[in-house]
């Protein structure tokens, strides 16, 4: 029996050997026939063994010749077909939801993704799809529909098969980056050196996340305080109970001499003591711990009508203009205490000529309804929303009556929602949540509640302004720095882009969705290091390698930076193991901030 089996195996091996030999002889014969089919002319140059490849017409002429890796085979390797289909359907629906809300508010949505989404619906994407008709009914958001969409994405990020698929895809993207880096690093550097008159220092850089009250570094603020004291010590700068107080008297009451002030005694720089202490961080906006100095130097609505603050910002703007290639989008505050805030801010902007070609402006709305309600400044949440948005509707409909606001809005690019995300709210947002006019309790509404009603107003306002040929606004909230993962889900539906996004690391599904939709994320590692996340644990480099649309921003230079060229320093240093020689990645950060800016 064994002999018969061995004989059969030997015969099979012999047959395979014969087949291999026949194939080899056939190839050899074909090769010889090609060579012998014509007489060889040794006077002619020998043609190459492989003909040169015809260039791809879709690529530009100067496109670098990088090595590329192609993955072929089973597209759902590692998971079952059923799980793959379930994950694909969930991701597709989430992208369609984001596209819907982005289109309604005139936010950006990647055209590449839009084309793929049209294919899934057996439609053809056309550029005209992004153009709305001249006459149409203005859309408005529906709370119940939004709550259903939100619950779908929330359920999706907890779905097992979707989590597995997204986790594997993210690992795959990171691996592709490592392979590309290994194969093409030298080619990239060579290509970089060929580019004339362009390097890291003269590519455009935009600081898309910076607060106006902290846009200067601590040395700049100290120098400005000393200069004003030397030249205007007898100027009245405060009004307390009808009594005018001069700058000299302010420092006398604080028992200090500006001549003796140092950056250390100014005490505006954040350090270890502010880690997970947002209250202590906010106190750093008070120079030498004195709220009087903050009101004098860092406010727009004070006794001197914000003159010192305007001069400080204009000095920062002058530095940007001299650098030529640096731009910024500082954030100014509108609190929602009264409708006169917009008129006062616009008047300050025009009166002091706080304009720079290197600056555009963002409006930040702090989530502090509970403080206003406690002080009986507003009766309900609807009144706060009215104070924030009603002047904008009026200026859009009747710009002649509100000229200052109309002019100021030309230089405003968007809105931000700011405050401590780690604050907990007992209320869970749903379609049964009280309407804004019904929210009369002293409790602060949850994060999602703020985002939905801010998005709703921005959406209607954008449609109104678009109809009149005016500029529209982006919604770019602080999101994902701390707190619940639901904040990032809310922002995925409502925001054009976000600031921070650290908590994306906790959810592979959300991280993959932000990658697919290319939602811009302005990250601030130095700020995070002093507040919520150590430098070494920051996911910035990881996000970059996986292909998320990330950029670097300063957040608060007064608290975190030392030099005037803070945005260049931030991108030029080695924050997360980004090799100092890798100018490609540093320039990529600059490109990301230009794409996400207003």
Residues serving a catalytic function are 500
Phi, psi of 10 (to 5 degrees): -65, -40
Q: How far is it, in rounded angstroms, from Cα 170 to Cα 154? A: 19
Q: How far is it, in rounded angstroms, from Cα 488 to Cα 523? A: 14
Q: In what order do the strands lie in the sheet with 474-475?
A: 205-211, 326-333, 361-366, 412-418, 474-475
Phi, psi of 326 (to 5 degrees): -110, 135
Let me know: does 561 contact 567? Beta carbons within 8 Å: no
Among the listed residues 424, 469, 495, 486, the one whose alpha carbon sits nearest the alpha carbon of residue 105: 495
Q: Which residue has the tokens 């153009």?
A: 131
Q: What burial letters (b/e) apply to 301-336, b meaning 16+ CB within 10 Å?
A: ebbbbbbbbbbbbeebbebbeebeebbbbbbbbbbb
Among the listed residues 244, 292, 296, 287, the one whose alpha carbon sits nearest the alpha carbon of residue 267: 287
CA atoms in the 13 A half-sphere facing the CB of 172:
14
**SS3 call for 584:** helix
**SS3 call for 326:** strand
**SS3 call for 136:** coil
Among the listed residues 337, 239, 333, 330, the one whose alpha carbon sits nearest the alpha carbon of residue 292: 239
Phi, psi of 416 (to 5 degrees): -130, 150
**SS3 call for 489:** helix
């Amino acid at each position: 029996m064994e002999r018969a089996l061995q004989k059969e195996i030997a015969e099979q091996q012999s047959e395979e050997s014969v087949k291999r030999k026949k194939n080899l002889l056939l190839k050899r014969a074909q090769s010889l026939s090609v060579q012998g089919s014509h007489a060889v002319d040794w006077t002619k140059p020998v043609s190459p063994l492989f003909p040169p490849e015809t260039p791809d017409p879709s690529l530009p002429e100067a496109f670098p010749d990088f090595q590329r890796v192609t993955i072929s085979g089973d597209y759902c390797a590692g998971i079952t077909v059923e799980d793959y289909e379930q994950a694909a359907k969930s991701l597709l629906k989430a992208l369609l939801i984001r596209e819907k809300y982005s289109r309604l508010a005139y936010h950006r949505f990647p055209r590449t993704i839009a084309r793929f989404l049209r294919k899934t619906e057996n439609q053809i994407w056309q550029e005209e799809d992004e153009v709305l008709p001249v006459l149409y009914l203005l859309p408005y958001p529906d709370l119940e529909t939004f709550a259903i969409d939100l619950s779908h994405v929330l359920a999706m990020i907890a779905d097992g098969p979707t989590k597995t698929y997204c986790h594997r895809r993210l690992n795959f993207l990171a691996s592709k980056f490592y392979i590309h880096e290994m194969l093409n690093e030298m080619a990239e550097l060579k290509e970089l050196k060929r580019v004339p008159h362009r390097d890291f220092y003269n590519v455009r850089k935009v600081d898309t996340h910076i607060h106006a009250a902290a846009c200067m570094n601590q040395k700049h603020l100290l120098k400005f305080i000393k200069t004003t004291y030397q030249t205007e010590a007898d100027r009245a700068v405060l009004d307390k109970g009808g009594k005018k107080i001069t700058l000299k008297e302010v420092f006398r009451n604080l028992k200090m001499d500006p001549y003796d002030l140092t950056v250390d005694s100014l005490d505006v720089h954040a350090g270890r003591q502010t880690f997970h202490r947002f209250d202590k961080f906010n106190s750093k906006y008070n120079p030498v711990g004195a709220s009087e100095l903050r009101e004098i130097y860092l406010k727009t609505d004070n006794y001197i009508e914000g003159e010192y603050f305007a001069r400080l910002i204009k000095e920062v703007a002058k530095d940007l203009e001299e650098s030529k290639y640096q731009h910024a989008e500082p954030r100014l505050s509108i609190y929602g205490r009264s409708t006169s805030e917009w008129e006062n801010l616009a008047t300050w902007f025009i009166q002091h000529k706080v304009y720079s070609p290197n600056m555009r402006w963002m409006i930040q709305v702090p989530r502090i309804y509970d403080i206003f309600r406690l002080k009986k400044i507003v009766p309900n949440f609807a009144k706060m929303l009215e104070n924030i948005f009603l002047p904008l509707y009026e200026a859009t409909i009747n710009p002649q009556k509100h000229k200052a606001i109309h002019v100021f809005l030309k230089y405003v690019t968007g809105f931000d929602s700011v405050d401590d995300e780690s604050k907990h709210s007992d209320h869970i947002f749903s379609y049964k949540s009280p309407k804004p006019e019904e929210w009369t309790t002293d409790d602060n509404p949850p994060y999602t509640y703020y985002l939905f009603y801010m998005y709703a107003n921005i959406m209607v306002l954008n449609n109104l302004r678009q109809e009149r040929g005016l500029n529209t606004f982006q919604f770019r909230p602080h999101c994902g720095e701390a707190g619940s993962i639901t904040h990032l889900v809310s922002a995925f539906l409502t925001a054009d882009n976000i600031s921070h996004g650290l908590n994306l690391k906790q959810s592979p599904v959300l991280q993959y969705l932000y990658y697919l939709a290319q939602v811009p994320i302005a990250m601030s590692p130095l700020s995070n290091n002093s507040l919520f996340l150590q430098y070494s644990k920051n996911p910035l480099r990881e996000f970059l390698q996986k292909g998320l649309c990330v950029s670097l921003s300063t957040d608060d230079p007064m608290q975190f930076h030392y030099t005037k060229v803070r945005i260049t320093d931030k991108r030029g240093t080695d924050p997360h193991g980004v090799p100092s020689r890798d100018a490609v990645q540093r320039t990529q950060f600059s490109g990301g901030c230009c794409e996400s800016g207003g």
